[in-house]
Amino acid sequence: GQGSRTGLPPALTAPPAPCLVPQNSLSKPGSCSSSRDAPVGNAGGIPSLSQEQRLWIKAFLSQTPPGNGAGSPGAVPGEPWWIPGLGAGMLEQPHNPIPKKTGDPNPRRKMWKTRLNSLRLPPDLLDLAQMVLRTEGPQRLPRGYEIVLSISVNNADKVGVFHVQNPFFGQRYVQVLGRRKLFHAVPYPGGAAELHFFVEGLRFPDETFSGLVSIHVSLLEPLGIPHSPIFRDTVVFRVAPWIMTPNTLPPLNLFVCSMKDNYLFTKEIQSLVAKAGCKLKLCFGYINRGDRWMQDEIELGYTHAPHKSFPVVLDSPRERGMEQLPVKELLGPDFGYVHKEPLVEAVASLDSFGNVEVSPPVSVAGKEYPLGRILIGSSFPASAGRRMTRLVRDFLFAQRVQAPVELYSDWLAVGNVNEFVTFVPASDKKRFRMLLASPAACYRLFREKQKEGQGEATMFKGKGTRPPRRGSNPAGSAGIRALLRPRQRCIDWNRDILKKELGLLEEDIIDLPALFKLDKQGKAVPYFPNTVTMMVLARDLGIPKPFGPVAGGECCLERRIRALLEPLGLRCRFLEDVASYHGSLGEVRCGTSVQRRPFAFKWWHFTP
């Protein structure tokens, strides 16, 4: 866990008001709404204290981000919690999973390794949120009284709390609350004192967990069994969300699988990666086990708190061979891991992370989305088609900071949103453009070339596996024209949704030529390599080479795409992927995954 603070109501951002519990005439009761007027020692069955022995005890919890000397109280249950500003929060910690048994055929189906009950290295605490228990009172509590920290049984698997001890050999950070400990009796320090605790999150928000965790401190008096609380103070933390990064953020690392048939492809992107200033990370055969679809397997995001952030890989529920990659190659002290695997629902191609996209920051009808909005593909609202597994879908919605938008992608054979929409950076005020695949734009281009006398131009000429075709201009085919209309209507449906949900105008959208044909199941597949499914590395674009009609020594599709994108300050590099990806119904983007720099914007300043 780590400390970030999401918003608190203004009343809660004021200097902390300690909760008073009667025990000393030096203080006055009623100075805090949580105070009790009955003096300690006056309970039934316990000998009364004389007036001179009555003391007041102050005790309250607060959250202090590392490096910040002043604490501030956590949110009170029932009060508005998520308001822009600072509030109590923590990071989910990347624990290392271990297999149930050696040679487990599914290395992700694991039990999480239990963290040791003590931490010896202070650097471990840099990842944790600080929580302070402040007390003020007599040197000793009356016999039988105790101060107790506690969490509910519902939060036991979501939070861990550590406390420092000082044995003879170095400091020990002992776990006092967590999966197996719901309460902890705090040794009363006497007088005015501060006790520091360190809080970690154990789960990201999901379909059954809002992300809010309450930690309580209670003063108990020995009325009977169990002891009775005189008062209770509470601090509320929120586990920091998992955040996706859009194409407009600078790239750090590009991940791609090394396969026998994509050697030339990986060589070609090395120069592109170097030009973009990021690093190329190859996943070799012993890890990928024949699975080339990197983007479908993992989505690289991050989590963030005021004192620290680190990347977190979201591992898809698909089981195609690459499931060892996140655990063996990525997970580490500063690299988190999340895997969602449905127990009942069947996993389909819409659960691949090519079906998860995120927009750049947008403003919609006065509502700001400074971290963008997640796009996920689904079936038509009135049909019973393929949908993303509810477990994954609900996880994305539960993060709350990138409100998802559902699009219609079931008309495609693979069914992923990145087959018809993506985003590229721009150097103007808008800062980005949305690219849409457009059969209509392709048809207009081919008709234009046909009227120029180039209707017999050669397509698929080059190093691809298809033989060159003459006279294959689709504009001359009545069958292809008939196929354009329903595919274009599907894209136009999504266009209207995107304009409404992202607050876009027509000038914010660029239509890239694309054609689709139908497979045996009546689903759409690309007629030629789909240029929308591109790789975006800052200003450098790795675009699938479309092998369109060649006229004047140049592919007319490449010429049109350059004319549309290069005025934005972008550099187009066309990569041949027919043999390595397109022939298996994928493209450049499907075979790569990009880790990007986190947003500068702090998520806790956003109101869902």
Residues forming the active site: 590
Structure tokens at 134: 């402040």
Q: What is the 3-state secondary structure (H, E, C) of 515-573?
A: CEEECCCCCEEECCCCCCCCEEECCEEEEECCCCCEECCEEHHHHHHHHHHHHHCCEEE
Task: Judge whether 541 and 558 are in contact, CB under 8 Å.
Answer: no
Residue type, 190: G
**3 state SS of 450:** helix
How many CA within 13 A on the CB side of residue 403? 13
Residues forming a β-bridge with 165: 172
Structure tokens at 438: 């457009």
Instruction: Report the relative pairing of strands 298-305 and 251-257 from DSSP bridges.
Output: unpaired
Measured between its terminal Cα atoms, the distance across the chain in Å is 22
**3 state SS of 412:** strand
Structure tokens at 508: 């914010």
Task: Judge whether 421 and 494 are in contact, CB under 8 Å.
Answer: yes
Burial class (CB in 10 A: 0-12, 13-18, 19+), 416: buried
Residue type, 406: E
Structure tokens at 571: 């550099």
Task: Judge whether 510 and 491 are in contact, CB under 8 Å.
Answer: no
What's the maximum distance between 2 C-alpha atoms anywhere in the chain?
108
- Laid out side by side, the sheet with 592-596 consists of 279-283, 251-257, 592-596
Q: How many CB atoms lie within 10 A of CB 339?
A: 17
Task: Judge whether 252 and 366 are in contact, CB under 8 Å.
Answer: no
Rg (CA), the chain: 29
Integer Cα distance of 7 and 354 in angstroms: 33
- H/E element holding 500? helix 478-502
Integer Cα distance of 354 and 579 in angstroms: 20
Residue type, 356: V
